[in-house]
Amino acid sequence: MRMREPVIIGNATLYLGDCRDILPTLPKVDAVITDPPFGVGNFVQVTGHKRGRGDHRGKEVMWNELGPPPEVFAMLREKSKHRIIWGANFFNCFEEKGGAIIWDKAQSMPNFSKADIASCTHFQKTEIVRIPWTNFTVTHRAETDHPCERPVELYEWCIRYLPGLTRSVMDPYLGSGSCGVAAFRQGCKFIGIEREPKYFDIACRRIEDAQRQGRLIA
């Protein structure tokens, strides 16, 4: 199957498709920062909360049925110097000489996790970052309609915490584009891959908006 041409937005190159097909064609980057589907079964919103423009209550989300196969993690190791992978407790993708990052969401809603865990390759300790999830829900999720979005600020923290000078970042599970927005804010080239057209279009718009606002401020 012929791969679609990527969408180029400033310093971001975005691919619509399956990362298993696209990753082998891409160059190596300084860092992969990503949040793959956890593979914990079809996500069904059961809390009764309506978020943003979308209402996911009682709806199945099929992309969460399966997590990444082992060959994807092997390709990520091949294509990057450093890696931060959220959901590491679901994938058991901790590397031998790596550590962990714990995101303290500082939220009190009983039906949601109080924290998330990422594996990382550039240190052997455990680091905790506290970014309130409740405020993020109000200020960001309304425009994305994505049930599992993470704050742009969390991705920015991840990029700043990488060792040395990070020039390029990749997210093979782009979702609604938060990592791409963060990469632009931190002055990095970015490669993103997303297989769902709805979220790919949202990611393109958010990254384009971020770059346009950055040019206006500059």
* Residue 143: band (very low, low, confident or very high) from pLDDT cuts 50, 70, 90: low
Average pLDDT over residues 25-29: 97
Residues in the chain: 218
Q: Is residue 15 part of a domain?
A: no
The whole-model pTM stands at: 0.83
Residues forming a β-bridge with 119: 85, 100
> Among residues 135, 136, 149, which one has the least CA distance to residue 56?
149
Query: DSSP string spanning 77-145?
Result: HHHEEEEEEETHHHHT---TT-EEEEEE-----TTS-SEEEEEESS-SSEEEEE--HHHHHHHTGGGT-
Backbone phi and psi for residue 79, each to the nearest 5 degrees, phi listed first: -95, 5
What would the pLDDT profile of 162-208 be if each residue is shown by its tens digit? 988 899 999 999 999 999 999 999 999 999 999 999 999 999 999 99
Q: Is residue 28 part of a domain?
A: no
Backbone region of residue 24 per phi and psi (left: phi > 0; alpha: psi in -120 to 50; beta: other values): alpha
Q: Is residue 159 part of a domain?
A: yes
Q: What does the pLDDT read at residue 94?
A: 85
Cα–Cα distance measured from residue 12 to residue 95, given in angstroms and rounded to the nearest whole number: 28
Average pLDDT over residues 27-40: 89
Other Cβ atoms within 10 Å of 126 Cβ, number: 11
Q: Is residue 200 part of a domain?
A: no
Q: Is residue 139 part of a domain?
A: yes
Q: Is residue 37 part of a domain?
A: no
Q: Is residue 96 part of a domain?
A: yes
How many domains are contained in the chain?
1
Whole-number Cα distances in Å, 33 to 69, 112, 116, 218: 17, 23, 14, 27
Q: Is residue 33 part of a domain?
A: no
Whole-number Cα distances in Å, 63 to 6, 38, 46, 155: 22, 9, 17, 22
Q: Where does residue 89 rank: exposed (0-12), middle (13-18), buried (19+ CB within 10 A)?
A: middle
Q: Which domain holds residue 95?
A: 72-167
